Amino acid sequence: MKYRYWFYNYTELNMKHVFKILFFFLFSLSCNTDQQRSDEPKGENNLAYKWGRIALEATANDTEKFRPRPTVTSRMLALVQTAVFDAWSRYDNTAIPVYLQNVARVPEKERTLKNKEIAISYAAYRTMLTYFFSDSLMLRNKMDSLGFDPDNYSLDPTTPEGIGNLAAKTIIEARLNDGSNQLGTMAGSNGKLYADYTGYQPVNSADTLNDIKRWQPKYFSDGKGGRFAPACLTPHWGKVKPLLLDSGSQFRSPAPPAIGSAQLAKEIKEVIDLQVALSDSQKALVEFMRDGPKSVQQAGHWLMFAQDVSVRDKHTLDEDVKMYFAVEAAAMDGFIACWDTKMKYDFARPYSLVHYYYKDKKIKGWGGPGKGMIEMMGQEWRPYSPETFLCPPFPSYISGHSSISGACAEILRLYTGSDSFGIAIKRIPGAMTEPGFEGAEVTLQFPTFTATAEMAGMSRVLGGYHIQCENIEGLRLGRNVAAAVWKKYQYHINGK
* Span 264-305, pLDDT tens digits: 999 999 999 999 999 999 999 999 999 866 789 999 999 999
CATH code, 43-174? 1.20.144.10
Whether the predicted pLDDT of 26 surpasses 90: no
- Under DSSP, the state recorded for 136 is H
Q: What's the pLDDT at 342? A: 98
Q: What's the pLDDT at 478? A: 98
Question: Cα(74)–Cα(70) distance, rounded to whole angstroms?
Answer: 6
Range name among 25-34, 221-230, 299-308, 360-369 with the lowest pLDDT average = 25-34
Coil, strand, or helix at residue 265?
Answer: helix
Buried b / exposed e along 405-419 (16+ C-beta atoms within 10 A): bbbbbbbbbbbbeeb
Give 24 or 442, the one with higher predicted confidence. Answer: 442
Instruction: Categorize the per-residue pLDDT at 189 as very low, low, confident or very high, splitting at 50, 70 and 90.
Output: very high
Domain 238-494 CATH (choose: 1.10.606.20, 3.90.230.10, 1.10.150.120, 3.40.50.1370): 1.10.606.20
Residue 388: name the closest of 157, 67, 124, 77 by CA: 67
Q: What's the pLDDT at 495? A: 86
- Over range 425-430, report the average pLDDT: 96
- Over range 15-35, report the average pLDDT: 46
Calculate Rg over the CA atoms of the chain. 26
Domain ranges of the chain: 1-29, 43-174, 238-494
Cβ–Cβ under 8 Å, residues 77 and 63: no
Cβ–Cβ under 8 Å, residues 217 and 349: no
CA 228 vs CA 71, 219, 388, 390, 410: distances in Å = 21, 5, 10, 11, 38
Give 32 or 123, the one with higher predicted confidence. Answer: 123
Instruction: Categorize the per-residue pLDDT at 136 as very low, low, confident or very high, splitting at 50, 70 and 90.
Output: very high
Intrachain domains 43-174 and 238-494 with the same fold: no
Q: What's the pLDDT at 496? A: 75
Coil, strand, or helix at residue 48?
Answer: helix
CA 37 vs CA 46, 114, 317: distances in Å = 12, 12, 10
Element (H, E) at 374: strand 373-377
Whether the predicted pLDDT of 4 surpasses 60: no
**423: phi then psi, degrees, rounded to nearest 5:** -105, 160
- Under DSSP, the state recorded for 128 is H
Cβ–Cβ under 8 Å, residues 264 and 258: yes
Q: What's the pLDDT at 293? A: 64
Instruction: Categorize the per-residue pLDDT at 8 as very low, low, confident or very high, splitting at 50, 70 and 90.
Output: very low
Q: What's the pLDDT at 22? A: 46
pTM over 0.85: yes
**389: phi then psi, degrees, rounded to nearest 5:** -155, 75
Q: Which residues pair with 444 in a beta bridge?
A: 425
- Over range 157-168, report the average pLDDT: 98
